[in-house]
């Protein structure tokens, strides 16, 4: 169960928001646009995209967007300049049932159940083969056993009530954007913020020892709780929100109401073989 919840957490973090980064420009992706914004949410640029996808910030000035092609025909990888939003190159690989992603500043490795694809980040050249000996990734894995991430998921087709909300952040604020890149709302970034998970437009923010749940449409706090230890991870299987604490506790809440449903000690996480 924990593996499933961790998987949900990783996927939620990945789509449309990228990882927590330092310094402008910040970025996000909706079902319509990839866009960059400043510290206070001011729009820097936006460029049309076909669907919402995962974002990886390769360098301070470059971001790669990976999204599913229509009718499960493949996964497209596109490199953009973060300074102006210009497309540098794009390529695609056939669709596979599972995918593991890792990268550094020169190489992007797409490891699938059919073999490894090596993507040269400078040229966009794609070839099949194994990563160089000693290759280290700044992506989902570095070495050894890896966690499986089911992909691709076109989040533009996931029901988010009646409206799409894109959550992203700067060093000072957390924002809720509409699909056009306009700020719907913003709140002060919680101290110790380390990410979030979401379901049904409810967002559970991890802020050190504080758990904060927001209504994604308005940015208003539904409920919040101070916990006995730092939050290490979280995941949602709606309506249950599961929190893993640094002291080994596993807490399960109703994400709608904040009611504590279960408290137990978490089982040690076992990596997949």
Q: What is the mean pLDDT of residues 108-125?
A: 87
Class of domain 2-155: mainly beta
pLDDT band at 16 (very low <50, low <70, confident <90, very high): very low
Per-residue exposure over 56-88, b if at least 16 CB sit within 10 Å of its own CB, e if not: bbbeeebbbbbbbbeeeebbbbbbbebeebeee
Distance CA 28, CA 46 (A): 10
β-pair partners for 254:
240
Region 155-184: what's the mean pLDDT? 78
Q: Which residue has the higher pLDDT, 163 or 220?
A: 220
* Statement: residue 165 has pLDDT above 80: yes
pLDDT score for 6: 33
Which two structure tokens, joined as six digits, stand for 220?
């208003």
Q: Name the band, by pLDDT with cuts 50, 70 and 90, for residue 134.
A: confident
pLDDT for position 212: 95
Instruction: Note if the bond before 223 is cis, omega within 30 degrees.
Output: no
* pLDDT at 174 (0 to 100): 94
Does residue 18 carry a pLDDT above 50?
Answer: no
What average pLDDT does this structure show over 80-101?
86
| CATH 2.40.10.480 boundaries in the chain | 190-273
Work out the angle at residue 13's Cα, subtended by the Cα atoms of residues 145 and 106, and round it to the nearest 5 degrees.
60
Architecture of domain 190-273: Beta Barrel (2.40)
Strands of 87-93's sheet in order across: 54-59, 62-68, 75-81, 87-93
The pTM assigned to this predicted structure is 0.74
Between 79 and 145, the more confident residue is 79
Q: Tell me the CA distances in angstroms from 123 to 34, 57, 81, 103, one per residue in order.
A: 21, 17, 14, 15
Domain with CATH 2.40.128.630 in the chain: 2-155
Q: What is the pLDDT of residue 248?
A: 93
Higher pLDDT, residue 30 or 73: 30
Does residue 231 register a pLDDT over 90?
A: yes
Please tell me the predicted confidence (pLDDT) of residue 172. 92
Q: What is the mean pLDDT of residues 97-106?
A: 80
Q: In whole angstroms, how far apart are CA 172 and each of 59, 97, 200, 257? A: 21, 38, 25, 28
- Other beta carbons within 10 angstroms of residue 232's beta carbon come to 14
Strand-by-strand arrangement of the 260-265 sheet: 231-237, 240-245, 249-254, 260-265
Measured over the CA atoms of residue 217, residue 218, residue 223 and residue 225, the dihedral's sign is positive
């Amino acid at each position: 169960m924990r593996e499933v919840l961790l998987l949900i957490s990783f996927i939620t973090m990945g789509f449309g928001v990228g990882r927590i980064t330092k310094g402008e420009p910040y970025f996000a992706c909706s079902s319509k646009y990839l866009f960059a914004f400043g510290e206070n949410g001011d729009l820097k640029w936006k460029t049309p995209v076909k669907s919402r996808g995962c974002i990886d910030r390769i360098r301070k000035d470059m971001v790669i967007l990976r999204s599913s092609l229509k009718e499960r025909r493949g996964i497209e990888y596109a490199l953009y300049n973060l300074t102006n939003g210009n497309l540098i190159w794009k390529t695609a690989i056939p669709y596979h049932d599972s995918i593991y992603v890792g990268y550094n500043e020169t190489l992007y490795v797409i490891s699938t159940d059919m073999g490894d694809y090596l993507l040269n980040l400078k040229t966009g050249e794609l070839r099949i083969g194994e990563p160089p000996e000693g290759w280290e990734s700044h992506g989902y894995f570095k070495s050894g056993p890896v966690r499986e991430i089911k992909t691709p998921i076109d989040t533009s087709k996931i029901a988010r009530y009646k409206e799409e909300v894109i959550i992203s952040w700067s060093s000072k604020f957390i924002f809720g954007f509409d699909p056009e890149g306009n700020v719907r709302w913003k709140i002060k970034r919680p101290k110790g913020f380390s990410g979030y998970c979401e379901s049904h437009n409810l967002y559970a923010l991890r802020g050190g020892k504080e758990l904060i749940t927001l209504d994604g449409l308005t940015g208003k706090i539904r409920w919040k709780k101070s916990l006995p230890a730092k939050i290490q991870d979280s995941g949602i299987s709606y309506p249950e929100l599961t929190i893993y604490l640094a002291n080994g506790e596993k807490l399960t809440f109703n994400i709608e109401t904040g009611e504590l449903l279960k408290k137990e000690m978490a089982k040690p996480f076992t990596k997949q073989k």
